[in-house]
Amino acid sequence: MSNKKTSNQELQFPIACHYRIIAVDIPNIDKVIETVLQKFEVLNALQEGNQSRKGKYLSFGVDINIKSKEEMRQVNSELLKVEGVKMVL
């Protein structure tokens, strides 16, 4: 028997979502990401996070006010279209 609790609760929109973006460390990647984010209601400026041990990757964090599940999918999709972005969490 599993001890995991399952929740059937639906997300209540609008909701503030935190996104972590992992990207290749290439010139101006932050500016390109910021351009994509202009389409959405960003709650705070894009913040640079950690750099990988070998310096190849950077992480960024941003909070966005999301109005629907579709918009949540759109944010993810638009960010993954950016050349150099490898993962959106």
- In the prediction, which pLDDT does 10 show? 84
pTM of the model: 0.86
| pLDDT digits 0-9 by tens, 22-77 | 999 999 999 999 999 999 999 999 999 999 999 999 999 999 999 999 999 999 99
Look up residue 77 and give its two tokens.
């999709």
pLDDT given for residue 7 in this prediction:
56
Which CATH code for domain 15-88? Answer: 3.30.70.260
pLDDT at 1 over 70: no
Confidence at residue 50, expressed as pLDDT on a 0 to 100 scale:
96
pLDDT of residue 88: 98
Domain boundaries, the chain: 15-88
